[in-house]
Amino acid sequence: MDLFSEALTPKICKPWGQTMKANSRRFNRLSAVVTAIALCAPLSGGTQPVTVTAPASSMLNGTATLNGMVNPLGADTTAWFEWGTSTNYGQPTAPANAGSGADVVPVSAALSNLTQGLTYHYRCVASNSLTVVRGSDRPFWTPVITLNGPNPLTNECHVPFVDPQAAASARLLAIAAGSRHRLALKADGSVAGWGDNFYGQINIPAAATNVMTIAAGGRHSLALKADGAVIGWGANDYGQITIPASATNIVAIAAGDAHSLALRSDGSVVGWGTNNYGQITIPANATNIVTVAAYAAHSMALKADGTVIAWGDFGYYMPASVTNVVAIAAGGYHSLALKADGSVVGWGDNFYGQITIPVSATDIVAIAAGRGHSLALKADGTVIAWGQNDAGQTGISYSTSVIAIAAGSYFSLALKADSTVKDVGYNFVVQTTIPADLNHLNLPLTVTGTVDVNNPGTYSLSYSVTNSLGAVAIAFRTVIVKDTLPPVITLLGSDPILHVMGTPFVDPGATATDLCAGDLATSIQVTGSVDVNVPGSYQIHYNVSDAYGHPAEAIRTVVVGRPLVTTLPATGLLNDTATLNGTVNPQGANTTAWLEWGTTKAYGNRTSPQSIGNGTNAVAMNAVLSSLTPGVIYHYRCMASNSGWVIPGANQTFCLLPLTLKGPSPLTNECHVSFNDPRATISRPLLAVAAGGFDSLALRVDGTVVTWDYLGHIIITPASVTNVIVCLI
């Protein structure tokens, strides 16, 4: 028994509104249609009980409480609920005694271990010795919250906590197929669409919220909202989405090619759009209607007594066997009816065999009709299809785990239990390209709880979301704030330290910090020593641990024994040869020495390195160079290194004096004639010059100095001014 047959129940002495006041604490509210029912009737032994299915309550994660109201009307009555994942139900709750009074008795049943995100259906059932009466169907579902990121989650102490958040999802509530477009009703009451959009039939309007039912027509779409209002979008060339003022308190909708139908809560039908075949001329006997269907230019309605009526471009004989019907479907030129025993009846055009019901069509729980093909959903979740298959529309046969079906002109849809949609058939305008986010819910997520990143410990965050039915889903995340990182030790001063032997060593020390403990400098333990009188490499260790036992260590190297390097003047300057000289004192550390030389202070040339031991006395370094160019100033220095040091000596220069013969060479001298040597000249290039107020100086490469005044007169330089390396004035 549904809402409309409930409205027809004989009246008794007390209005429904008064009864509701007495039970308002247990039930939040019922819809306008239920609150308007008056449960009044004379008491007699032949009266059937009255039952109403009330909204579910206490919907939290995997639990829910089913609610209903029963009036025994004076006869001993038992009440229970039928429930399941489809309108086939399949699971009863334990029967409860509702008594034999004349007042409304609230009944309820608690369910647990439900699957979050799955839509459940239920109805209140009452029986006495005469009959069994069933209330209308009601669905309910709870969202699913999926935590992003790990759980539990570890956050480093003093590091800002970034919540990875969570996402709410749930399985689709319904699907609908138009001529060449598809619709899906999401669990948050929003609508998604895909396929042909030439007329904007999948441009979902902003007003499409809190939607309870959807319908797809030839080129337009309809949605029924929770408040009983209908909205439409897409083609409107025949006024098919111009909702009439009379379309209020609507409980069901249907869409044809260019017309629309709506079922009111009082069991009457409203139609609008094109009427070229009388498809919106509602017959006078269209009363006590429980559902409607439409396709192309014909309309259908199922009455509360299980009979079917049809109007518009129908023109086909309805079989007498169309009785005890629980669902109807309108196709292009044919119709289907699902009987209470799970069998299917078809009538109308059979050009494609669309009404030749397969023998396997037994135990059916839902039907759908396309332009020239038919679908049926079995109780075991499999689909069978027959009729026209020129676009592969019957390729949906034997799909499994299906909970809902729909048929378009040349395609078929199946909604599976995991909320995936199978779409087969015509794909000229990508109708079968299914959106990827059909399970995503635009529901506000509430997060409670805090995480103190400055104090290690275990914290809890809760994420909750509530859907339009008042169902709540809650998920929890554990956040562990802990110190997982060791302290950081920073050495002060250089590393390695090159220390001169025999001089006091002062450790520059180190600092230590920890993200959680802060400054740990005073907790540093220092080990190791440096013997400044013994050359070698020494290590100083710095160790510290935080309060959680995380250790840290830093090591500094101290090298004692810096080589002493001296670059001596070059000797043996003759023609194109020169001897480079220097001394190196290893200062007790194993030392290697060499000489670098070149025409600039970049040097560029070096002698082969040689080991000079680890003594404490100066060791002479010499290198003979040849094939040098006279007149060119050369730079050189002595170099030494040990395990911690590379020490350069001072830069020295030298220049080979160019000798220029005067006269010819060879020279011929007459016999017995005295030889007069034309001699030769020596050029002495300058190394540096200096100028004062009245005098100037020039340093020659041979270490001598020439001086002159501002008039150019030579000033005699003292004889002691030799081997000069720098001159100043």
Strand bridging mode 446-448 / 457-466: antiparallel
Q: Which of 437-451, 583-597, 626-640 has the lowest mean pLDDT?
A: 437-451
At which residue do the structure tokens 């997060």 appear?
A: 447
Q: Report the chain's C-alpha Rg in angstroms.
A: 51
Query: Do 196 and 274 sit in the same domain of this protein?
Result: yes
Tell me, yes or no, whether 236 and 355 share the same domain. Answer: yes
Calpha distance 42→40 (Å, rounded): 7
Q: Among 216-225, 495-504, 697-706, which stretch is predicted with the lowest mean pLDDT?
A: 697-706
Tell me the C-alpha distance between 666 and 660, whole Å: 14
Residue 67 has pLDDT above 90, yes or no: yes
% of the chain exceeding 70 in pLDDT: 89
Q: How many helices (H) and strands (E) does the chain have?
A: 3, 58
Cβ atoms within 10 Å of 207's Cβ, excluding its own: 12
Q: Read out DSSP for 536-572?
A: EEEEEEEEEE-TT--EEEEEEEEEE-PPEEEEEEEEE
Query: What is the predicted pLDDT for the residue at 428?
Result: 58
Residue 124 lies in a domain: yes
213 shares its domain with 341: yes
Position 122 scores a pLDDT of: 94
Same domain, 198 and 330: yes
Say if 475 falls within a structural domain: yes
User: How many Å separate Cα 371 from the centre of its chain?
Assistant: 42
- The answer on 606 and 541 residing in a single domain is no
Residue 23 has pLDDT above 60, yes or no: no
Could you tell me the two tokens for 354? 């669309």
Section 96-104 average pLDDT: 94
pLDDT at 720: 73
Q: Are 201 and 229 in contact (CB under 8 A)?
A: no
Confidence at 417, pLDDT banded by 50, 70, 90: confident
In a domain, 235, yes or no: yes
Q: Are 554 and 535 in contact (CB under 8 A)?
A: no
Burial of 713 (0-12, 13-18, 19+ CB in 10 A): exposed
Of the candidates 469, 470, 467, 462, the one whose C-alpha atom is nearest the C-alpha of residue 446 is 462
Query: If residue 598 lies in a helix (H) or strand (E), which one and from where to where?
Result: strand 591-598
Last-in-domain residue among 535, 557, 579? 557
Per residue in 362-402, pLDDT tens? 999 899 999 999 999 998 899 999 999 999 999 998 888 89
What domain range is 158 assigned to?
144-169+443-482
Dump pLDDT digits (tens) for 308-320: 999 998 756 789 8
Mean of the pLDDT values across residues 520-544? 92
Asked if residue 662 is part of any domain, the answer here is no
Q: Are strands 166-169 and 373-378 parallel, antiparallel or unpaired?
A: unpaired
pLDDT higher than 90, residue 439 = no
Q: Is there a domain that residue 431 lies in?
A: no
Same domain, yes or no, for 329 and 253? yes
What CATH number does the domain containing 94 carry? 2.60.40.10
Q: Look up residue 227 and give its two tokens.
A: 């408040």
Query: Where residue 191 falls among pLDDT bands split at 50, 70, 90?
Result: very high
Whether residues 552 and 570 share a domain: the answer is: no
Summary mean pLDDT of the chain: 86
Structure tokens at 243: 């909702």
For residue 8, pLDDT over 60 is answered with no
CB 212 within 8 A of CB 189: yes
Residue 431 confidence (pLDDT) above 80 = no
Residue 649 lies in a domain: yes
Q: Are 165 and 148 in contact (CB under 8 A)?
A: yes
301 and 188 within one domain: yes
Total structural domains in the chain? Answer: 6
Rounded CA separation 511/107 (Å): 73
| 22, two tokens | 């007495």
Give residue 199's pLDDT band: very low, low, confident or very high (50, 70, 90). very high
pLDDT level of residue 638 (50, 70, 90 thresholds): very high
Q: Does one domain contain both 379 and 274?
A: yes
Residue 621 burial (C-beta neighbours within 10 Å; 0-12, 13-18, 19+): buried
pLDDT at 172: 85
With a CB cutoff of 8 Å and minimum separation 6, the contacts of 85 are: 118, 119, 120, 121, 403, 417
Query: Mapping DSSP to helix (H, G, I), strand (E, B) and coil, where does residue 66 land?
Result: strand
**Which whole number is the average pLDDT over 86-113?**
92
Instruction: For residue 573, tell me if it sits in a domain.
Output: yes
CATH number for the domain harbouring residue 187: 2.130.10.30
pLDDT of residue 661: 74
pLDDT over 50 (residue 17): no
185-194, 273-282, 291-300, 350-359: range with lowest mean pLDDT: 185-194
pLDDT digits (tens, 9 = 90+) for 455-466: 889 999 999 998
**Single-letter amino acid, residue 536:** G
Higher pLDDT, 549 or 81: 81
What pLDDT score does 35 carry? 30
Assess whether 238 and 381 both reside in one domain: yes
pLDDT of the residue at 34: 31
Name the pLDDT band for 722 (thresholds 50, 70, 90): confident
Neighbours of 665 (CB within 10 A): 8
Q: 511 and 449 share a domain?
A: no
Q: How confident is the model at residue 28 (pLDDT cuts 50, 70, 90)?
A: very low
Residue given tokens 């299915």 in the structure block:
53
State mean pLDDT over 119-138: 89
Model confidence pLDDT, tens digit, residues 38-66: 233 333 445 789 898 999 999 999 999 99
Q: Is the peptide bond before 666 cis (omega within 30 degrees of 0)?
A: yes
Q: Is the pLDDT of residue 3 over 70?
A: no
Residue 433 placed within a domain: no
Q: What are the DSSP E strand ranges found in 314-410? A: 325-330, 334-339, 344-348, 364-369, 373-378, 383-387, 402-407
pLDDT at 5 (0 to 100): 33
- Sorting pLDDT into bands at 50, 70 and 90, what band is 12? very low
- Please check whether residues 575 and 713 belong to one and the same domain: no
Residue that wins the pLDDT comparison between 703 and 574: 574
Position 683 scores a pLDDT of 60
Question: Which range has the worst mean pLDDT, 84-93, 176-185, 478-487?
Answer: 84-93
If you average pLDDT over residues 532-544, what whole number do you get?
89
